[in-house]
Amino acid sequence: MRSFLNRFFCSFGVPGLLLASVVSHAAVDAEMDGMEVDSRDDGTFLVGGPTFYYDRILGAGGLHSESEMWSPEKLRQRLLFNRMSPLPSWNPLPPSVWVKTGNELGDLIYNDFITPEDRPSNRTPILEGGFRSPGFKGFWVTGRAFQDDHFSTATMVARKKMVDDEFALFGENYPLFSTMYAGFGYSAGTINASVLAGEEYVWIFSESSRWLPVHYRPRVETRIDVWNLETTVAYENADYQNHERKESGERREWSGSLRYRCGDACRRGMLQLSAGLAFRKVDDDGIVYTRLEGDRVILPFMELKFEPAKAFAARAMLAINDRDWLVQDSVEFRPAAPAKSGITLGVKNISGTRLNPLADTEEFFDGDTISLTADGQMNLVQGYASFTDTLGNLELGGRGSFWAEHGAETFDVDEYVVDEDLVYRHGDVDRINDWIKGVTGELWMSVWYQEMFAFKALGGFERIDGEEKRFEVTPAEFFASFTADWLLRKSFRISHSLRYRSDAKWNLRSRDPLTVKGDWFWDATFEQQFPLYGLYLTGTLLHVLGDEVIETPNGAHNRLRFVCTVRKTF
Amino acid sequence: MAKMKALILLVLSFAACALAQSESGEIVAADSVAFSKFYVSIEGGEKYPFGDLVDAVDNTLYVGIGARYAYWEDFDGIILFQYSYFEPHDKIPHVYGVHEASGKLGLDYRWRLISPIALGAGFICNWTRADFNDDGRPEFDTRGGTLTDNETEFGWFARLNLPIFTMDNYRAGLNVLWEQLWTLPERSNMLSVGLYIERRLW
């Protein structure tokens, strides 16, 4: 059910309402907050590492991945080049103390002594430790150090040459991010405030397909939520470098947002209104490989929901500034249906000059200037219908949609450059000024028994018709997934997910398209729970069954991994 | 074919979960029992490599400490920390041996039919590092090379907990444990047999 929820939230830009009863599942634990995409089962999710992946829900409409699209829901996510990323997350976690470790499975250990040839490459770990104190008169302190060394081996040799040290807080695996922060906050009533400061190493994936090492020293983030007003301000002093070429630069950046959220009283009204603005201001010195036109961007936005009756809802989000605009809107009709069932008919639209109006506008690569903006605009229209029906402990549902997109963002490649194992590209962001059409269908079935057991089977297909060779990614046509969550004797959790995804293809990041073969995957979480003591002992197996392949150009192998966590809540 | 077998095993294992739950559905939930009993132990014994691993390292002794706590009425939680020092089966230049620290977390099932024997299973995390001559440190891509840095690997174990005698708050017994580390190019299997002395704290 979570994936269905996500689909609704993501598709409409503003939270949609679900029709039917929701069977709450726990799900397989992500290896780290923000890596949930690796266990997603309802579309095309290709992971090159924690800081770069392609994530598109089947039925979302259009060709873009979800993380490429800016929305007000992502104001507190990180902007990594032109993607909004939940990771590395600076969200203060609930009061607790926790330790996490794990590894890509397949080190030699004692096999080292008897394996002189064809030795497997090194497997790399994951590390995290942190705490947040209970509140004392509303005040609390927190600290967290975390890095994900998975997905680092395949590109390590190339990346290593670009930096002058290990580029991580711990170890020598050149992880794609390594973060440490500490701070304090105040939470009481309608006030929630925090100040965090720390140091961070991040490898950012760019439009040219380069990995850019960025060292934030320091990074400071302040959040103040009072009543329905949310404020975020971040300061980053970012060092850029290419040690091999003796290049270096520095970017000092202020970014943040102000948002008024529709409150409880407002949400009961027929017309609901939220508004705010997001901003960035950069000051570049030396070579930083990207540029933000005018060194600043301010993006005011407004969200509307008009619901004159329970059967009808219209939603809209508009963000606009002097350079770009982005609109997401939908109209939904829910006709009367028998008890415990529901029907939804809807139309949604996304239009705009840019998927992410906050992102930098140019990338500099090997003497070339890559324009990250394209003339014109994109228009996506989608009509959809869904139904659910509940019979006792069984729920059945389905959804079908048709979509058409004109002006989809793509990349116009001038030239590919091969550098040992990696491939880069010259060119500019462009548009497919032609209609791309898609038709989708999904069916699901859920069964549950009290709190003990919940099972869901979900399957979907999508047929896309358009100039495929200009798609950045040709999404998978089929998926099937089976998820089950057990809570044995109210204190031992087993969550697992078995799923299949058909072939997907990267068309524009290398001369020959990279086909990511379809495969079966299985993930599972086992957890001893001691709710009375707030103690949770968790072990998670990820990417079992699936072949260990590279899922994104210039990415790394998605390997079988095990992660264990000990958490004590306060 | 291997994947099909794995899929069938998965289905069967989760069917077993359902059966386990229905048989004992009336048993009191964890929080009324959890940590109501707590035991600590010391343990020592020998570890035997199996399969191809017999050509890699020799049998060795191990020592360890452990904790066992009530989780459900018929299940105990177990935590074990063990140390051992392995010597290579064949001479590896400049490598004298390997330190291994092993942490294990799992559950013991006290099945009434075989009481007082308990069946256990869980996950392992092993840390290893070679004891080597720094002047002749092997290269990473030669035999012994990876172990000259910290190496960690996970796996699973199954065990038989065989109490021999119990007196007041003390118990002595035999621990027979099979472990498999998820290594490459082959999984690493070992059997350990050890004696333990356990004291009940509460």
Q: Report how far residue B145's alpha carbon sits from residue A380's, in angstroms, rounded to the nearest whole number.
A: 55
Query: B86 in contact with A at a CB cutoff of 8 Å?
Result: yes
Residues 171-190 (B) with a CB less than 8 A from some CB of A:
181-186, 188
What are the chain B neighbours of A108 within 8 Å (beta carbons)? 146-147, 151, 183-185
Q: Do B153 and A107 touch (CB under 8 A)?
A: yes
Q: Which domains does chain A possess?
A: 2-569 (2.40.170.20)
Closest chain A residue to B100, measured at CA: A109
* Beta-bridge partners for A104: A561
**pLDDT score, position A518:** 95
Confidence of residue B181 (pLDDT cuts 50, 70, 90): very high
Confidence of residue B159 (pLDDT cuts 50, 70, 90): very high
CA atoms within 13 A on the CB side of A173: 27
Closest chain B residue to A489, measured at CA: B29
**pLDDT score, position B2:** 53
- pTM, two decimals, is 0.89
CA dihedral A178, A182, A183, A187 (to 10 degrees): 80
Closest Cα in chain A, distance from residue B11 (Å): 10
**pLDDT score, position B3:** 54
pLDDT tens for the 570 residues of chain A, in order: 344 334 333 333 333 333 333 333 448 999 998 899 998 878 999 999 999 999 999 989 999 999 999 999 999 999 999 999 999 999 999 999 999 999 999 999 999 999 998 898 889 999 999 999 999 999 999 999 999 999 999 999 999 999 999 999 998 899 999 999 999 999 999 999 999 999 999 999 999 999 999 999 999 999 999 999 999 999 999 999 999 999 999 999 999 999 999 888 888 888 999 999 999 999 999 999 999 999 999 999 999 999 998 899 999 999 999 999 999 999 999 998 888 889 999 999 999 999 999 999 999 999 999 999 999 999 999 999 999 999 999 999 999 999 999 999 999 999 999 988 899 999 999 999 999 999 999 999 999 998 899 999 999 999 999 999 999 999 999 999 999 999 998 899 999 999 999 999 999 999 999 999 999 999 999 999 999 899 999 999 999 988 999 999 999 999 999 999 999 999
**pLDDT (mean) for B48-66:** 96
**pLDDT score, position B140:** 82
Query: A270 in contact with B at a CB cutoff of 8 Å?
Result: no
What are the chain A neighbours of B142 within 8 Å (beta carbons)? 116
Q: Is the ipTM reported for this complex over the cut 0.90?
A: no
Confidence of residue B25 (pLDDT cuts 50, 70, 90): very low
Burial class for A291, CB neighbours closer than 10 Å (0-12, 13-18, 19+) = middle
Confidence of residue B8 (pLDDT cuts 50, 70, 90): low
Q: Which of A125, A491, A522 sits opposite B152 (nearest CB)?
A: A125
Q: How far, in Å, are A120, A177, A181, B50 from residue A52 at the CA level?
A: 25, 11, 22, 41
Local structure of A40: helix, strand or coil: coil
Q: Which of A101, A106, A539 sits opposite B184 (nearest CB)?
A: A106
| Cβ-contact A563, A104 below 8 angstroms | no
**pLDDT score, position B9:** 53
Residues 20-59 (B) with a CB less than 8 A from some CB of A:
20-21, 24, 27, 29-31, 34-35, 49, 52-53, 55-57
**pLDDT (mean) for B9-21:** 48
Instruction: Kindly give the pairing relationship between strand B118-132 and strand A519-530.
Output: unpaired
Instruction: Could you please state the CATH topology (level 3) that the domain comprising B33-140+148-200 is classified under.
Output: Porin (2.40.160)
Closest Cα in chain A, distance from residue B170 (Å): 26
**pLDDT score, position A545:** 87
Q: If we measure between CA atoms, which residue out of A556, A489, A425 comes closest to residue A52?
A: A556
Residue of B22 and B102 predicted with greater confidence: B102
Q: Do B56 and A111 touch (CB under 8 A)?
A: yes
Q: If we measure between CA atoms, which residue out of A344, A406, A346, A345 comes closest to residue A374?
A: A406
Confidence of residue B103 (pLDDT cuts 50, 70, 90): very high
What is the 8-class DSSP label of residue A171? S
Instruction: Kindly give the pairing relationship between strand A561-569 and strand A535-544.
Output: antiparallel
**pLDDT score, position B33:** 87
Average pLDDT value over all residues in chain B: 86
What is the 8-class DSSP label of residue B29? P
Q: Do A522 and B88 touch (CB under 8 A)?
A: no
Query: B9 in contact with A at a CB cutoff of 8 Å?
Result: no
Local structure of A42: helix, strand or coil: coil
Q: Which of A103, A114, A530 sits opposite B56 (nearest CB)?
A: A114
Residues 91-150 (A) with a CB less than 8 A from some CB of B:
101-103, 105-116, 118-120, 122-123, 125
Q: What's the N-to-C CA distance of chain B in angstroms?
A: 50
**pLDDT score, position B31:** 60
Q: How far, in Å, are B38, B51, B98, B127, B131 from residue B86 at the CA level?
A: 32, 16, 5, 13, 10
Q: Which of A118, A489, A526 sits opposite B27 (nearest CB)?
A: A489
Q: Report how far residue A178's alpha carbon sits from residue B158's, in angstroms, rounded to the nearest whole number.
A: 36
**pLDDT score, position A478:** 94
Structural domain spans, chain B: 33-140+148-200
What are the chain A neighbours of B124 within 8 Å (beta carbons)? none
**pLDDT score, position A22:** 35
**pLDDT score, position B29:** 52
Phi/psi of residue A157, nearest 5 degrees: -60, -45
**pLDDT score, position A265:** 82
* Beta-bridge partners for B106: B78, B122
| Cβ-contact A424, A416 below 8 angstroms | yes
The H or E element spanning position B11 is: helix B2-23
**pLDDT (mean) for B100-109:** 96
**pLDDT score, position A338:** 84
Confidence of residue B192 (pLDDT cuts 50, 70, 90): very high
